[in-house]
Structure 1
Amino acid sequence: MRFHVIIAAVFWSGLVDSRKMRGISSSYKRFYRERRSFLCIDGSKMIPFEQVNDDYCDCEDGSDEPGTKPTYVHVCFTSGTSACPRGRFYCTNLGFRPHYVPSSRVNDGICDCCDASDEYNSHARCQNTCWNLGQRERAYVEGQMRTLDEGLRLKQQLIEEGVLLWREKQAQLRELHQVAEDLQIKLEEHRRRKHEADRVKEQMLKALEAEDRGLRHQNRTATSVFQFLDSDKDGSLTVDEVKAKVVLVHDEERILSEEEALGLLGGSHQMDFTKFRHALWDILTRGDSVKIKDTHGAPGSVVSEDPHLKAADRAAEWEATNLKKVEEAYETVNTEISDLQKKLAIDYGTDWEFLFLNTQCYTLKVYEYTYTLCPFNQVTQKSTAGTEVSLGKWGMWSGTPKNHYNQMVYENGEPCWQGGSRSTTVTLTCGTETALRSVKEPSKCQYIMDFQTPVACQPVLKQRGIHSEL
């Protein structure tokens, strides 16, 4: 009897070994312990354990065939493994990254798992390369972590600089507002003083003009008027001389016509002093139709030579000059305030870490073009011929909800020949230097850029698994 028990145990152990559980991750091995029955992992069905890995898909989730290659089609409606059409085989890959491969690749003569576990029953001579692959990946990850550590250190410096710069900009804005208020007060004062200087000058000018007109009417003699009208001093008046210095009383702006001047000269083209006294002088004296053109600015007149009027004129010009200077200064300060307010209204990150980029530009030459990225301003493309094209102006941040600041959009660039405007999407990546790394044009007039900077580095909160078991 004891002999028969031993034989049965040996036979059963051989059967179990022949169906060795392959392609199962460690987190699922507990479901495949030797027992009388097997419960499909999705809980849909209970089958005898000998039906596990028998090259026939009994469970809808394919969990009963984790390590066999499908040899025929069986109805499985989920992403099952092994004998099921969409089955998966788990590569343990000790020393490297574990991963799944389609069960159709098991024992197909091609090594898909670096530990060669997928070719356990084929003629392929696979070598275990997991350790070498793991070493290379670990070296790469270590390098990336060093870069990340250095990037985070630099980012912290830039955050501190950003905070200081932000405070400086705010202080600068307050100072500009104060300067604008002071200039506003000065502007009102200079306007008042200019208005007063103009008023004094105007009153003085009116008084002097009235005095000048009175003197001209009272003190002028026929001789003095004739000499005034005789511009070339040849002893006679001509049509041109009359037209130059005689005007109509009710229309001083209009120049006398040829006929009107001839009429005043008695129909003759010339008039000597004797004829003047008996003809034109009487007309001028009456003053009902024509008069001598006002000559308050002419040399020798009361207006032009009055020292008080000259002083008032200089004062008015001085006030006008000062007012213009204050107005220009006030306009300049308000422009600076507006520009600074626009800059400060931009989102520079939660700690203003991107603020330092505002005044910077970065270039990259790609074949015959030179691309320039000026963060928060614009993107341009310049050809070797010197032609520059706008690829977009600053629009917005367009990153993911988890990392809002990892992508920028620049839009409304120059029109494209196919219609629409050029635009550029800039992806920010972690690095120890701030530089433009690559530029591509995946579709016509739509550009993408890779922009590396320490402020794009994000701390790793926890070591994330390389592979999900589910």
Structure 2
Amino acid sequence: MRLHVIIAAVCWCGLVDSRKIRGISSSYKRFYRERKSFLCIDGSKVIPFEQVNDDYCDCEDGSDEPGTSACPRGRFYCTNLGFRPHYIPSSRVNDGICDCCDASDEYNSHAHCQNTCWNLGQRERAYVEGQMRTLDEGLQLKQQLIEEGVLLWREKQSQLRELQQAAEDLQIKLEDHRKRKHEADRRKEQTLKALEAGDGGLRRQNSTVTGIFKLLDSNKDGSLTVDEVQAKVALVHDEERVLSEDEAVIKDTPGAPGSPAGEDPHLKAVDRAAEWEATNLKKVEEAYETVNMEISDLQKKLALDYGTDWEFLFLNSQCYKLKVYEYTYTLCPFNQVTQKSTAGTEVSLGKWGMWAGTPKNQYSQMVYENGEPCWQGGSRSTTVTLTCGTETALRSVKEPSKCQYIMDFQTPVACQPVLKQRGIHSEL
């Protein structure tokens, strides 16, 4: 008789324990300590404790039936020892389908469930460990890129200062060359005015040259031949000889009408000086314009937000490609995104707009806007999500809606130390 009482007591305790504990997480066990009455967790009703897990829903929040499917709003807690614990809707309890890897949701059904939690947990632990190794390596690479970014930033700042100094020097040269050109133009203008006024010395020289030309021009046809020169020129050092044909050939004869050399020598000199100054001025102007363009371009690059430690600076002037079916996508950070078909047609999917990440990590997303017009109206745009990795590469491209693109861009500089705090659940 005593043995029967002990067996009955054990069975009753097991029944009570299964009714109280099944489907409850450790953090909620304090609400289900055996007592005469049970208060619904939402505080709406008090019921006798024996009505807990009796397969009849008494509480509106379903808290009295954590281990059965009686309540439509109820939840069943899968302990899943060795893997991740989680909740399932209570409607799935004893429905013949194994939802918990420890099979605890099918305690009273004909389903033959195996406990797969350990295998699942082992795979997840291996995955998490791999992710942690990737994160550690990514953070090390990120630190290197931060150091390179700081050096590159300083280098570009130094380059900017050098360009600005060069621009100042060129501006001084420019002003000097402008003055010299102005002076050369003024001398040329004065020479022309003197010639037009018939300056005495210049007029006598011009008269002499013209007289010689007329003397040699025997037939008065306004041009000189070899025969005419040989006939007129005979005495050299008191000896009579005939000029050779080569000696008699006159090139650029001073005073010959219509000949370029017939111009005034002084005028030619000041004209060449003016042209020389004009050429030099043009060269200095071009150099000054080029330097200012370089300064403007560098200032625009330095004005961009490259992260708190300039870690994203190395991405500037870089491009990353990915082929998806018949299209090749190209992401040029801080510049633009393009799509090129196999036929060679290239379409802009957006130009650099802004960082658009979360308040905790604004550098987790890039937005590229104002791409080429879409046939539905509006313009194409691309959102680039940055993920942690040991390599910098474009990983995927999707078009969830027409002319709106999403890219996954992996790079070590996207790795965040806070990820290490997530870890693995303690029950694993």
For 1:251 and 1:113, the matched residues in 2 are separated by 132
- Contact persistence 2:79–2:86 (CA under 8 A): yes
For 1:95 and 1:244, the matched residues in 2 are separated by 124
- Asked if residue 250 in structure 1 is aligned to residue 237 in structure 2, the reply is yes
- Structure 1 residues 293 and 259 mapped into 2: Cα distance closer, same or farther (>3 Å)? closer
For 1:379 and 1:395, the matched residues in 2 are separated by 11
For 2:366 and 2:105, the matched residues in 1 are separated by 45
- Contact persistence 1:152–1:459 (CA under 8 A): yes
For 1:166 and 1:417, the matched residues in 2 are separated by 41
- Asked if residue 219 in structure 1 is aligned to residue 206 in structure 2, the reply is yes
Aligned match of 1:397 in 343, 351, 355? 355
For 1:216 and 1:24, the matched residues in 2 are separated by 122
- Structure 1 residues 427 and 295 mapped into 2: Cα distance closer, same or farther (>3 Å)? farther
- Structure 1 residues 338 and 375 mapped into 2: Cα distance closer, same or farther (>3 Å)? same
- Structure 1 residues 146 and 461 mapped into 2: Cα distance closer, same or farther (>3 Å)? closer
- Contact persistence 2:252–2:260 (CA under 8 A): no
Q: Once structures 1 and 2 are overlaid, which stretch shifts more, 36-45 or 125-134?
A: 36-45
CA RMSD of aligned residues (A): 9.1
- Structure 1 residues 451 and 11 mapped into 2: Cα distance closer, same or farther (>3 Å)? closer
Q: Once structures 1 and 2 are overlaid, which stretch shifts more, 346-355 or 201-210?
A: 201-210
For 1:183 and 1:366, the matched residues in 2 are separated by 50
- Structure 1 residues 47 and 191 mapped into 2: Cα distance closer, same or farther (>3 Å)? same
For 1:185 and 1:147, the matched residues in 2 are separated by 56
Q: Give the % identical residues.
A: 90
- Structure 1 residues 60 and 179 mapped into 2: Cα distance closer, same or farther (>3 Å)? same
- Structure 1 residues 298 and 154 mapped into 2: Cα distance closer, same or farther (>3 Å)? farther
User: What secondary structure, in the 3-state scheme, does the structure 2 residue paired with 1:121 have?
Assistant: coil
Structure 1 residue 169, shift from structure 2 partner: 0.8
Note the residue ranges of structure 1 that are not aligned, 5 or more in a row. Answer: 68-80, 261-291
- Structure 1 residues 135 and 382 mapped into 2: Cα distance closer, same or farther (>3 Å)? same
Structure 1 residue 115, shift from structure 2 partner: 0.1
Q: Once structures 1 and 2 are overlaid, which stretch shifts more, 298-307 or 224-233?
A: 224-233
Match for residue 70 of structure 2? 83
Structure 1 residue 318, shift from structure 2 partner: 0.9
Structure 1 residue 403, shift from structure 2 partner: 1.1
Provide the aligned length of Structure 1 versus Structure 2: 426
For 2:47 and 2:29, the matched residues in 1 are separated by 17
- Contact persistence 1:412–1:422 (CA under 8 A): yes
Structure 1 residue 353, shift from structure 2 partner: 0.4
Deviations 1:364-384 (A, max 9, x none): 111111111111111111122
- Contact persistence 2:40–2:64 (CA under 8 A): yes
- Contact persistence 1:205–1:303 (CA under 8 A): no
Deviations 1:36-81 (A, max 9, x none): 12222233332221111122222232211110xxxxxxxxxxxxx8
- Contact persistence 2:41–2:61 (CA under 8 A): yes
Q: Once structures 1 and 2 are overlaid, which stretch shifts more, 297-306 or 49-58?
A: 297-306
- Contact persistence 1:299–1:305 (CA under 8 A): no
- Contact persistence 2:76–2:90 (CA under 8 A): yes
Deviations 1:268-311 (A, max 9, x none): xxxxxxxxxxxxxxxxxxxxxxxx99999984799953222211
- Structure 1 residues 137 and 185 mapped into 2: Cα distance closer, same or farther (>3 Å)? same
- Contact persistence 2:213–2:256 (CA under 8 A): no
Structure 1 residue 94, shift from structure 2 partner: 0.1
For 1:249 and 1:36, the matched residues in 2 are separated by 150
Q: Once structures 1 and 2 are overlaid, which stretch shifts more, 338-347 or 238-247?
A: 238-247
Structure 1 residue 158, shift from structure 2 partner: 0.3
User: What secondary structure, in the 3-state scheme, does the structure 2 residue paired with 1:59 have?
Assistant: coil
Deviations 1:230-285 (A, max 9, x none): 9998799999999999999999999999999xxxxxxxxxxxxxxxxxxxxxxxxx
Structure 1 residue 438, shift from structure 2 partner: 1.1
TM-score by length of 2: 0.83
User: What secondary structure, in the 3-state scheme, does the structure 2 residue paired with 1:405 have?
Assistant: helix
Larger RCO (CA within 8 A; separation ≥ 6): 2
Aligned match of 1:119 in 70, 87, 106? 106
- Contact persistence 1:252–1:293 (CA under 8 A): no
- Contact persistence 1:209–1:296 (CA under 8 A): no
Structure 1 residue 401, shift from structure 2 partner: 1.0
- Structure 1 residues 146 and 8 mapped into 2: Cα distance closer, same or farther (>3 Å)? closer
If you compute each CA radius of gyration, which structure gives the higher value, 1 or 2?
Answer: 1
Deviations 1:421-450 (A, max 9, x none): 221111111110001111112222221111
Structure 1 residue 336, shift from structure 2 partner: 0.5
- Structure 1 residues 110 and 236 mapped into 2: Cα distance closer, same or farther (>3 Å)? closer
For 1:253 and 1:383, the matched residues in 2 are separated by 88
For 1:347 and 1:253, the matched residues in 2 are separated by 91
User: What secondary structure, in the 3-state scheme, does the structure 2 residue paired with 1:220 have?
Assistant: helix
- Contact persistence 1:105–1:112 (CA under 8 A): yes
- Contact persistence 2:353–2:366 (CA under 8 A): yes
- Contact persistence 2:388–2:411 (CA under 8 A): yes
For 2:33 and 2:236, the matched residues in 1 are separated by 127
Note the residue ranges of structure 2 that are not aligned, 5 or more in a row. Answer: none
Q: Once structures 1 and 2 are overlaid, which stretch shifts more, 123-132 or 209-218?
A: 209-218
User: What secondary structure, in the 3-state scheme, does the structure 1 residue paired with 2:199 have?
Assistant: helix
Deviations 1:152-189 (A, max 9, x none): 11000000000110111111111111111111111111
- Structure 1 residues 139 and 256 mapped into 2: Cα distance closer, same or farther (>3 Å)? farther
Structure 1 residue 316, shift from structure 2 partner: 0.8
Match for residue 110 of structure 1? 97
- Contact persistence 2:230–2:243 (CA under 8 A): yes
- Contact persistence 1:248–1:256 (CA under 8 A): no
Deviations 1:206-250 (A, max 9, x none): 111221799999999999999999999879999999999999999
Structure 1 residue 140, shift from structure 2 partner: 0.5
